């Protein structure tokens, strides 16, 4: 079996169809690792383990090393995004106005730490730089909605609302 056919067969076996780049163009190109990881995340919304194996095979970097690169850069995700993506701003204004405390409360409420997704796939937390509403700091976004001047109480209520919304999809 030709190498390209072998790769295609492997992709089908792993259910890894839809990779938006032709991996085969990057055979032996170690320098293509980051763009390929970005392409994998673009294709799937995260980087599936099967994609790591295939990139490893193509560029010739061990999968364990690639895993190390992925965990080093906060832009990469090893799990799919949750239904609700919570972006917490950690820009200067938000930081000064207590974004760390707000992040801590979200982490406690959702039982996750740092940039992670809850086991039920409902929420993903992501720390980001300034999201452009500094006068409302501290600010978070949940999907496309922006919430500002947050207090610990407000953020707890907000999370409660989103959890309820998911249990009763009719709630606006």
Instruction: Work out whether strand 84-89 and strand 123-128 pair parallel, antiparallel, or are unpaired.
Output: parallel
CB of residue 70 to ligand FES, shortest distance in Å: 27
As measured in angstroms, the least distance from the Cβ of 148 to ligand FES is 8
| Residue spans of alpha helices (H) in the chain | 3-13, 33-44, 49-59, 63-72, 92-96, 99-110, 152-167
- Looking at the Cβ atoms of 47 and 141, the one nearer to ligand FES is 141
Q: Which residue is nearest to ligand FES (CB)?
A: 91
Q: Do 122 and 84 meet the contact criterion of CB atoms below 8 Å apart?
A: yes
> Which CB atom, from 48 or from 91, has the smaller least distance to ligand FES?
91
Instruction: Closer to ligand FES by CB, 37 or 89: give it.
Output: 89
Query: Least Å distance between CB 112 and ligand FES?
Result: 21
Please tell me the number of Cα atoms within 13 Å of 58 on its side-chain side: 25
- Which positions lie near ligand FES, rule CB under 6 A? 89, 91-94, 130-134, 137, 139
Q: Tally Cβ neighbours within 10 Å of residue 114.
A: 10
Q: Closest separation between CB of residue 103 and ligand FES, Å? A: 12
CB-nearer residue toward ligand FES: 69 or 134:
134
Phi, psi of 114 (to 5 degrees): 60, -150
């Amino acid at each position: 079996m030709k190498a390209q056919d072998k790769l295609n067969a492997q992709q089908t076996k792993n259910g890894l169809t839809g990779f938006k780049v032709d991996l085969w163009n990057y055979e032996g190109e170690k320098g293509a690792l980051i763009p390929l990881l970005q392409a994998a995340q673009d294709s799937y919304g995260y980087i599936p383990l099967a994609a790591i194996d295939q990139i490893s095979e193509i560029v010739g970097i061990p999968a364990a090393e690639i895993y190390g690169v992925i965990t080093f850069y906060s832009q990469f995700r090893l799990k799919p995004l949750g239904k609700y993506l919570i972006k917490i701003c950690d820009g200067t204004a938000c930081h000064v106005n207590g974004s760390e405390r707000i992040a801590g409360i979200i982490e406690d409420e959702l039982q996750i730490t740092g940039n992670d997704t809850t086991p039920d796939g409902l929420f993903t937390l992501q720390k980001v730089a300034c999201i452009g509403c500094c006068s409302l700091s501290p600010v978070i976004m949940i999907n496309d909605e922006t919430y500002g001047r947050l207090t610990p109480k407000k953020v707890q209520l907000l999370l409660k609302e989103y959890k309820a919304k998911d249990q009763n999809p009719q709630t606006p």
